[in-house]
Amino acid sequence: MTADARLHPRAQASIQVEFQFGGTSGVGTTNDVSEGGIFLETDVVAETGSRIYLRLYLPSDESVAALEIVGIVRRSSSGDGAAPGGMGIRFEIAHAKTRGALGEFIGAITLDPAAPRESALPPRPRLPSNAEERASESSGGLWVWGLGLTLVVLAVLRLYL
């Protein structure tokens, strides 16, 4: 698809993204972002058509929660050494607040060349030190399950309201 045919304007920024599909999770980076999707550079790729759960960490001076989005893999490549591997992902489900935050970010870096364009993942929480603490910790993928359930409920409500 050519840049002229795109539905949403793209902005150049190095954004850290956590992702999960099936039983696989990982971290990647996108060098451009739009309100409709991203190309995520990563060595771990999903098959075209796979549903993928994303957490985007936009560059910001303040501590902002990750933007949680559900997407569909539209294309993927494992890379050939010269070009990085990754996935073209179309955003399928994102809250209006998330789309608004993306729109504001894209508008800000389009208008202001000095706006922050790189993000980092937040520090990882302390790992449990003993078996008892580990047993009481909830699953690391719980946020994905909760997000998926919330988005399904919202989609069903949208059909009936």
Containing domain of residue 47, as a range? Answer: 3-122+139-160
pLDDT of residue 156: 79
**Tell me, what CATH number does 54's domain have?**
2.40.10.220
Q: What is the pLDDT of residue 46?
A: 92
Q: Is residue 133 in a domain?
A: no
Which stretches does DSSP call E strand in the chain?
A: 11-21, 24-33, 37-41, 51-57, 67-77, 86-93
Is the distance from CB of 89 to CB of 54 less than 8 angstroms? yes
Residue 40 domain-assigned (yes or no): yes
Asked whether residue 4 carries a pLDDT value surpassing 50, the answer given is no
pTM assigned to the model: 0.66
109: in domain: yes
> What is the total count of domains within the chain?
1
What proportion of the chain, given as a percentage, has pLDDT over 90? 24
Residue 25 burial by Cβ neighbours in a 10 Å radius (0-12, 13-18, 19+):
middle
Specify if 129 maps to a domain. no
